[in-house]
Structure 1
Amino acid sequence: MTAPHPKAPQHAPLRDDRRVVLVVAVLASFVVGLDSSVVNVALPAVRSELGGGLVVQQWIVDAYLVTLGSLILVAGALSDLYGRVRIVTWGLVVFGLASVGCAVAPNGELLVVARALQGVGGALVTPSALALIVAAFSGAARAKAIGTWTAWSSAAVIVGPVLGGVIVDGIGWRWIFVLTAVPIAVTLVLVRRITGDVVSGARPRIDVVGAVLTVVGVGGLVLGLIEQERLGWASPVVVLALVLGGAALVAFVPWERRVTAAGGTALVPLVLFRARNFTVGNLATLSVYGALGMVGFVVTLFLQEVWHFPAWLAGIATLPPTVVLLALSTTVGAAAGRHGPRRFMTAGPLVAAVGALLVLGAGPDPTAYWWSVFPALVLVGVGIALMVSPLTSAVLGSVPQDEAGAGSAVNNAVARIAGLVTVALAGMVLGGAMSTAGLHRAAVVMAVLLVAGAVVSWFGIVDPDRRGSGSPT
């Protein structure tokens, strides 16, 4: 039986900067969330100007998620080695420059490249922002802070679709990428006010081979899944991408074990998975965030391409989940800190699954929004609110303080990769084009994934007050 991981220390090395740290973490995540939320609304307008159909729309979403999901592991290691504050700063600068590239892209290919560079910036920002909170808060205060971070970070998802829709309909989709400039500028100023940081004493080399295996594995699978819709399963490009991607992912775990055995620093510290809540929490993340990734992509396209909502109205119509999340996350985070995450992580996906099935009531008539899509999105929002903060607390509460960056990176990578895979699969689920029947098939897939996440959480998650902070059995 493997010895349990030591508990995270209860001191908070950035406690003197708590307020600034929380604001910086929220704004940094706001930048990443804003970009993600506005892009879905702009996809029909981008297709009209640059062409490419559903395949280009998928790549605009997934090029960002491929680099974000694969490099976020490297970013987590960099965060632990060189400091959360420094890596957040680098990430914001890269993200800002890539946003300018998106705004001026003359064709779909260059837009996809710029989106991939945005993913690099997002990868640097995401784990470091959350790890800052872990370093500044402890105990119940940490759970509440994570709830606050979840709620206010979600404001980006509220502002993004509405403001993005207005901009797309008014002055053009390119201007949505300018939106990131303001929060980036403000955050860079505030970062300089943080007086401390958390940096590992040792400076081992970054696991470059592990990073390459991750990028090739994730990128190859996504390339194959997306391009099969256009080229067919028998295409050499599709076959080669799937084979290389699968082989790279299969080789990843043995390579990480080898690095660890040789005394190096693995890209993914496999020792983290000795903590039961860490392992189970990431399995739940894989299924639940896969469902949520499909919700955002499919519903937004359906509203604009089948019901012909203008971009601004589609933005408003997809707000209910975020409004509910913003209203409930802090309260749920505090409650989960007192009572444990297991019940919340089980109930949340089940409520969201019921919401996903309500989408089956949507038909060709747009007025069906009020008795199908609207209540569905409200229930999805309630489910997300019940799950997100407890899930984050369960996962990060089970890792040591000095590996919080890596733990956050792994969990974020799992979430992003789950979303990008379901978006890559959207072409098969939708049948190559958006339709009412395709929406119904996607709703069933969402519900199945959400129920799977609930089952995994109920049987796998251990409340810390009963068995310790997620230590293994």
Structure 2
Amino acid sequence: MAAQTESPLVGEDAGPRAPGHQRRTLILVAVLLAVFVVPTSISGTGVALPYIGSDLDAGLVPLQWVVNAFNVAFACSTLAWGSIADIIGRVRAFALGATIYAAASLVSVLAGNVILLDVARALAGIGGAAIFSGGTALLSTVFEGPARGRVFALFGTVAGIGVSFGPSLSGALIESAGWRWVFAVHVIVLAVVLLAVPTMRRAVQETRTQGARIDILGSALFVLAMLLLTTGIAQGPQWGWTGPGVLGLFAGTVVVLAIFAAVEKRKEHPMLDLSIVTNRRFMAICLVPVAGSFGFVTMLTYLPSYLTAAGGYPSGAAGAIMLMLTAPMLVLPLVTAKLVAKGVSAIGIIHLSLALLVVGAVGLELFEPDINLGLVALPMVITGTGYALAAGLVDGQALALVAPERAGMAAGFLNTMRLGSEAVAVAVYGSLLATVINGRTRDGIAGYPGAGDPATVAGTVASGNISGPAGQVAETQRADFTDLLVHAYDGAFHTVLWVLGGICLVLLVLVVALLSGREGGRAAAS
């Protein structure tokens, strides 16, 4: 408690008076419903791409942007929405985000061409960022003490379930009603959420940043930096990681971020108060979901492709196998909240979660195309446990370090770290996988006339599609060519796993180092 009093990040004001129990429950349900929609869209929309492509006669690039437009818009605008929520109010920001998301989803339902669908998905990403930033800050405003820990445990559970089961839910909707219903359900759920907004406005007395204006220049610079970074990662396999185009994009990212920092230092009411970033404890906690992005979210995204492409499992069986990875999300966030409420060290749990992500990444190296699933069940559960332990813990721990009037900014930064790192981690995984596959197959492909450009083949195989490139060669060579691609895919998968494990290990060391200093030193540094 003394450490928090010293820190300039923690205000002396205890915050607004909390609403009654029934209204708090209504606010919690509304926020969780909206939060559930966003991650299901992130993980589940990819299932619909083949059906969208067929129905709208879409090419590969615009079809990929059905997913990419949402992810990039989400990652780019989350930080801005956190600051906006502090200025206009958390309820208003949350409601505006839900409205934008619902309207964009309705356009997605009605879209007659893929370009309009791409635009709608980008708008949905902007709305989703407001839901997460406004919703997180709103819960931090309404709940305090042990209740806040339990609420953020539920928040983490719901978000994790949405990410984990989004593909299954989307698949069921597509099979029963068609791909448009993937987006129609979002409209229905968010319409229900918006019915609760009038009650939320009456119930919540918010602390806002007085006299502040929206930081348009800072927001634009941050969005530009994120676009340059994600484009550089995505184009690495095609342009070459050391080519002038990719290096130029990365250099541009550094330059724009430096300009962004300089601009924010001079702002009276910046989008991001840099004193938050320089607080060691807050920054350490914000790095925890980054490790989860590299250690867990990448596996959630790409392991099903490995199981179907290299392992030969049907999609239904691959989905069932993935339950070993996702099942811990159903129970552990709430268990963690109860343990912390009983006095178990939250920091100790965070350390354990990071260590388990490292161990899980190493254990997943056991995977082979013909592996006995009993051997990989334990590392899958360990990886899922590592992610689930901290899923609902970091939000409450991070926002407890900031003053109430900065909760939106802090939530925006935390969710930018979480969701931005997910977009970056998934892009890094896909790009590295394609690069390694290309290196392993470039020479061998020359012996198979008609196979096509090695880089194109590598990109297709990295997406989990081996049958497509295999179908381009003569039938007499198809079996051998398939073996070549499967072995290249398998080898690349293991190489990338070592990289991911190394990243998680570095983050573990960094978090431990940041949390090991004295509180007084951190306060002074801030």
Shorter-chain TM band: 0.7 to 0.9
Match for residue 82 of structure 2? 76
Match for residue 121 of structure 1? 127
Match for residue 156 of structure 1? 162
Distance in 2 (CA, whole Å) between partners of 1:101 and 1:11 is: 39
Match for residue 445 of structure 1? 499
Distance in 1 (CA, whole Å) between partners of 2:52 and 2:64 is: 12
2:323 alignment partner, one of 304, 319, 325:
319
- Residues 20-73 of structure 1: CA deviation (Å, up to 9, x unaligned): 2211221121111221231244456556776666x7676444432222122111
Q: Kindly report which structure 2 residues correspond to 1:138-287, keeping only aligned pairs within 5 A, or say none.
A: 138-194=144-200, 195-197=202-204, 198-200=206-208, 202-232=210-240, 238=246, 241-259=249-267, 264-287=268-291
Q: 1:106 to 1:354 in 2, by over 3 A?
A: farther
What is the CA-CA distance between 1:392 and the residue it aligns to?
1.9
What is the CA-CA distance between 1:347 and the residue it aligns to?
0.5
What is the CA-CA distance between 1:117 and the residue it aligns to?
1.6
Gaps of 5+ in 1: none
Q: 1:212 to 1:181 in 2, by over 3 A?
A: same
Distance in 2 (CA, whole Å) between partners of 1:204 and 1:90 is: 19
Match for residue 415 of structure 1? 418
Higher relative contact order (CA 8 A, sep 6+): 1
Report the residue type matching 2:358 in the other structure: A
Q: 1:155 to 1:285 in 2, by over 3 A?
A: closer
Distance in 1 (CA, whole Å) between partners of 2:211 and 2:294 is: 35
- Residues 308-354 of structure 1: CA deviation (Å, up to 9, x unaligned): 55555444433334331221111202323533321111110211222
Match for residue 362 of structure 2? 357
Equivalent pair of 2:365/2:497 in contact (CA under 8 Å): yes
Q: Kindly report which structure 2 residues correspond to 1:327-342, keeping only aligned pairs within 5 A, or say none.
A: 327-337=331-341, 338-342=343-347
What is the CA-CA distance between 1:300 and the residue it aligns to?
3.1
Residue 405 (1) aligns with residue 408 (2): yes
Q: 1:215 to 1:6 in 2, by over 3 A?
A: closer
2:27 alignment partner, one of 5, 21, 25:
21
Q: 1:307 to 1:100 in 2, by over 3 A?
A: farther
Distance in 1 (CA, whole Å) between partners of 2:238 and 2:44 is: 26
What is the CA-CA distance between 1:77 and the residue it aligns to?
1.3
Query: Higher Cα Rg: structure 1 or 2?
Result: 2
What is the CA-CA distance between 1:120 and the residue it aligns to?
0.3
Match for residue 438 of structure 2? none
What is the CA-CA distance between 1:456 and the residue it aligns to?
2.5
2:139 alignment partner, one of 133, 146, 159:
133
Aligned-pair identity in percent equals 26
Match for residue 481 of structure 2? none
What is the CA-CA distance between 1:412 and the residue it aligns to?
0.3
Report the residue type matching 2:350 in the other structure: M
Equivalent pair of 1:290/1:415 in contact (CA under 8 Å): no
What is the CA-CA distance between 1:424 and the residue it aligns to?
2.1
Q: 1:242 to 1:121 in 2, by over 3 A?
A: same
Distance in 1 (CA, whole Å) between partners of 2:340 and 2:510 is: 18
Distance in 2 (CA, whole Å) between partners of 1:290 and 1:72 is: 19
What is the CA-CA distance between 1:158 and the residue it aligns to?
4.7
Distance in 2 (CA, whole Å) between partners of 1:76 and 1:229 is: 34
Distance in 1 (CA, whole Å) between partners of 2:66 and 2:429 is: 13
- Residues 255-303 of structure 1: CA deviation (Å, up to 9, x unaligned): 11121xxxx2111111223433112222333333233332222213323
**Between 246-255 and 406-415, the greater mean CA deviation after superposition:** 246-255
Residue 344 (1) aligns with residue 349 (2): yes
SS of aligned partner of 2:196:
helix
- Residues 124-143 of structure 1: CA deviation (Å, up to 9, x unaligned): 11011111111111122211
Report the residue type matching 1:418 in the other structure: S
Q: How many correspondences in the alignment?
A: 462
What is the CA-CA distance between 1:472 and the residue it aligns to?
5.9
Equivalent pair of 2:16/2:207 in contact (CA under 8 Å): no
Report the residue type matching 1:330 in the other structure: L
Residue 459 (1) aligns with residue 513 (2): yes
Distance in 1 (CA, whole Å) between partners of 2:50 and 2:305 is: 7
SS of aligned partner of 2:199:
coil
Gaps of 5+ in 2: 1-5, 435-458, 463-488
Distance in 1 (CA, whole Å) between partners of 2:46 and 2:509 is: 30
Report the residue type matching 2:79 in the other structure: L
Q: Output the TM-score relative to the length of structure 2.
A: 0.79
Distance in 2 (CA, whole Å) between partners of 1:472 and 1:212 is: 31
Q: 1:181 to 1:321 in 2, by over 3 A?
A: farther
Distance in 2 (CA, whole Å) between partners of 1:118 and 1:232 is: 32
Distance in 2 (CA, whole Å) between partners of 1:25 and 1:316 is: 29
Report the residue type matching 2:400 in the other structure: G
Distance in 1 (CA, whole Å) between partners of 2:375 and 2:143 is: 42
Q: 1:100 to 1:305 in 2, by over 3 A?
A: farther
Q: Kindly report which structure 2 residues correspond to 1:421-436, keeping only aligned pairs within 5 A, or say none.
A: 421-431=424-434, 432=459, 433-434=461-462, 435-436=489-490
Distance in 2 (CA, whole Å) between partners of 1:236 and 1:101 is: 39
Q: 1:169 to 1:437 in 2, by over 3 A?
A: farther
Match for residue 99 of structure 1? 105
Distance in 1 (CA, whole Å) between partners of 2:38 and 2:182 is: 13
Distance in 1 (CA, whole Å) between partners of 2:386 and 2:141 is: 28
Q: 1:324 to 1:288 in 2, by over 3 A?
A: closer
Equivalent pair of 1:5/1:275 in contact (CA under 8 Å): no
Distance in 1 (CA, whole Å) between partners of 2:511 and 2:320 is: 32
Residue 289 (1) aligns with residue 296 (2): no
Q: Output the TM-score relative to the length of structure 1.
A: 0.87
Q: Kindly report which structure 2 residues correspond to 1:378-393, keeping only aligned pairs within 5 A, or say none.
A: 378-393=381-396
Q: 1:57 to 1:377 in 2, by over 3 A?
A: farther
Q: 1:181 to 1:218 in 2, by over 3 A?
A: same
What is the CA-CA distance between 1:402 and the residue it aligns to?
1.1
Distance in 2 (CA, whole Å) between partners of 1:282 and 1:151 is: 18
Distance in 1 (CA, whole Å) between partners of 2:117 and 2:494 is: 30
